[in-house]
Every structure is written in C-alpha cells, then in structure tokens.
Amino acid sequence: MAKVIHAMFRVLDEVRSVDFYKKAFGLEVSERLDFDSFTLVYLKNSSADFEIELTVNKGREEPYDLGDGYGHVAFCVEDLDSEHARFEAAGLSPRKIVEFDRDGALLARFFFVQDPDGYQIEVLQRHGRYR
C-alpha cells in the first residue's frame, strides 16, 4: 500500500520559509540537499513522519504564480484557540476561526494562515476524522 511522505512547495527565500514553518508548526530541518541549480529542504517534527519539502530554485527572483486552483496542506492541533492566539502573537496573521457543522454536529473547527510564498495552510482542531 502507498504511504504519503511529503508535500512540496517552491519557495524564494529558504531562511524566511524555514523560520515560518518552525515558528508556526515546530518543524525542523530533517535534511538539506544542495544541487547546482536548486536546494531541497525537508522539514518535519516528532508528531509524524510526513515532511514538507521546500524547493529553492537558485537564481529565481520572481514570486511563483500559484495559479487559480485552490489547494492547501493541513495540520491538526489539540487546542485551536490557543494556537490561533499564539499565531497572532507571533505575527503570523492567522485568519479567523471557522466552524463547520454537518447534520447538526460539529465537523471541523479551523483557521487558515498563509506562508511567506502565499501557500495556504489549514490548522484544524483535533476532532473526529482530523487526528
């Protein structure tokens, strides 16, 4: 059976992106592979084997066009309210907390935050299917 192992984002500034993911989600560099025209930086924490792969194309100065297709990566947390407050205090500009109900029951509580390159990240309260 296949196992999901990472999501990749193309970023302009390695230091800025690594700092964001560390500050926001406690991700640390697990490996950094430098090549002639690009660098791959793998980030993870002790909560899972899943990694975020940052691809830094050397010489790129223009922001990436993220297109008009909506997509995101998601993290779940124990206490959404305290994480939202922490994000605000850290200057990460989280959007407001949203609640989704389905058939009269809570399906999800979450907020979104944008990384330095414009990628959308969902932060969900650990609940139901979001574990």
Catalytic residue numbers?
Answer: 122
Instruction: Determine whether 73 is exposed, middle or buried from the number of CB atoms within 10 Å of its CB (0-12, 13-18, 19+).
Output: middle
Edge-to-edge strands of the sheet including 98-102? 73-77, 120-125, 105-114, 98-102
Helix (H) or strand (E) holding 84: helix 80-89
Cα–Cα nearest to 43, from 55, 57, 53: 53
Cα–Cα nearest to 50, from 42, 58, 61: 42
Instruction: Report how far residue 32's alpha carbon sits from residue 38's, in angstroms, rounded to the nearest whole number.
Output: 11
